[in-house]
Amino acid sequence: MNSHLLRLTGEARFGDELERSFYNHLAAAQKPDGAQWCYYTALEGTKPYGPGINCCVSSGPRGMALIPQNTYFKTRAHDAEVLLVNLFEASSVTTKLDGQMVTVEQKTDFPRTSGATLTVRTKSPVRFGMKLRAPQWSLPLTITSKRTGTMVEQRGTSGWAVFPAREWREGDVFEITFALPARVTPGLHGNAGKSCLRWGPLVLAYDVARNPDFAAPGAMGFVEVETAFTRKSGDALAFEARLRSARDATPRPATFLPFADTGADGGAYRIWLRAAGVPFPPNASLFGFGNESRSRSGNVNGSICDGDPATFVVTFNARRADEDWFAISLETPMSVRRIVFAHGHAFHDGGWFDTSTEKPRVQVQRTKGGAWETMGTLDSYPATSATDSAGLRDGQSFAMELKQAISCVALRVVGKPAHGDNPAQAFSSCAELQAFER
């Protein structure tokens, strides 16, 4: 749609949206080997890549194939043809301008560095104009002719830097300079109180695998009000910003990657983190802001240890399963006696535990990597079935109290997922999993 709108109107804002989509969500949906694609690509959680012959595995490559077609365009202005450069990409275009074939080569190391050069290849002098899309993040942007020294600068909001029509010769070079800023974007609406990092047009994400000694993403937040994060040295695009955690306010440097690069190995990531100065919610659970996991990644990626029952997770993956579990782990053991499970949400096709044969079991792990031990069941959980949620309410909680406190590093709740009105699959949900001393 944006491609057609750009062609029809010539308005740079549609090119801005193409750039945003290409470098972020489209690239993030593709597994690096190109063989698998995500149907949903959430802004936090994990990426559910899917193989096989389906619409995503065909539509994804079609989207990628549109990028070269949307890098250059032609139009006319007054009495001359104009070449439009829409994307900063190492590329070339060969097309007819002023009645003859002309090649324009673009060399750039964007988005690692700012700037690009355009070189004209033509057998004889040719007259045409040039327009370079100048998104807001790139300003100020300048185009300079190396042969004549003529310079055009764009600082405004029109969206294009315009180089008037003139005669070009073989080997003429344009030098393009632009900003490539590190920016902090405040969240709005559902992301109010959060911030994300951006590098030029790229959206960055906190990658769990690159920060193994940190708390879960839900427990992390930015430190500075105007975070001046930096790019790390090396060929790969990686960035560093200081974070605080719910358990430790001491600033620590953390690694961020472009959204497209995160989660490729199946690991967790998060784009929106708690903004600087925004306090963490009170969380009395001994396992609050721990490392959470579940039997299946699902397609709703809230949190089960952030103290907020409105943020829940599910195990939905359009398949059946005999058993589901939700778990939280810590690096050091805690002494617990009461464990509380909060239901997430009952959908028409599942989202609860089927207790027709057994109530959900509570298990603990006394040492890291040790065996899971069943400590009891959530007897107050209602008498549900595979098709009936028995009136479960969002955030409704159920507790199990041990006869005596035990020391453990991980806990989980295990149960049979329900399928609602779709027996071809089954899944469950969880809003919170908490543990207390009494």
Residue 286, domain member (yes or no): no
Phi and psi torsions of 315, nearest 5°: -110, 15
pLDDT digits (tens, 9 = 90+) for 362-385: 999 999 999 999 999 999 999 999
Residue 407, domain member (yes or no): yes
Q: What is the DSSP string of 2-71?
A: HHHHHHHH--HHHHHHHHHIIIIIIHHHB-TTSS-EESS--SEE---EE-SSSHHHHHHHHHHHHHHHTT
Please give the torsion angle defined by the CA atoms of residues 260, 265, 266 and 267, in that order, rounded to the nearest 10 degrees. Answer: -80
Which residues in the chain show pLDDT less than 50?
none
Specify the pairing of strand 230-231 against strand 239-245.
antiparallel
Pair 207, 79 in one domain: no
Pair 396, 406 in one domain: yes
Domain extent, residue 412, equals: 291-436
pTM above threshold 0.85: no
Pair 196, 267 in one domain: yes
Pair 76, 141 in one domain: yes
Pair 431, 315 in one domain: yes
pLDDT the model gives residue 226 = 56
pLDDT the model gives residue 47 = 87
Distance CA 386, CA 356 (A): 8
Q: Which of residues 180, 210, 242 is at a domain's end?
A: 180
Q: Which of residues 132, 148, 180 is at a domain's end?
A: 180
Q: Which of residues 70, 89, 116 is at a domain's end?
A: 70
Q: Specify the residue for token string 């027996």.
A: 423
Pair 394, 317 in one domain: yes
Residue 284, domain member (yes or no): no
Number of domains in the chain: 4
Please give the torsion angle defined by the CA atoms of residues 336, 338, 344 and 350, in that order, rounded to the nearest 10 degrees. Answer: 100
Structure tokens at 370: 């040790």
Pair 162, 109 in one domain: yes
Beta bridge partners of 255: 240
Residues in the chain: 438
End-to-end CA distance of the chain: 58
Pair 263, 383 in one domain: no
Q: Specify the residue for token string 């790019």.
A: 231
CATH, residue 108 = 2.60.40
Residue 298 neighbours by CB under 8 Å, 6+ apart: 45, 313, 314, 315, 316, 317, 427
- At residue 210, the 3 state secondary structure works out as helix
Query: SS3 helix, strand, coil % of the chain, rounded to 5?
Result: 15, 40, 45
Kindly provide the residue ranges of all beta strands, DSSP E only, lying in 252-396, ordered along the sequence.
252-258, 269-270, 273-274, 291-294, 313-314, 324-342, 361-365, 372-377
Report how far apart, in Å, the C-alpha atoms of 413 and of each of 150, 290, 342, 365 are. 69, 15, 10, 12
- Residue 392 DSSP class: P
Residue 169, domain member (yes or no): yes
pLDDT the model gives residue 203 = 97
CATH, residue 377 = 2.60.120.260
pLDDT the model gives residue 303 = 86
Pair 404, 300 in one domain: yes
Pair 215, 247 in one domain: yes
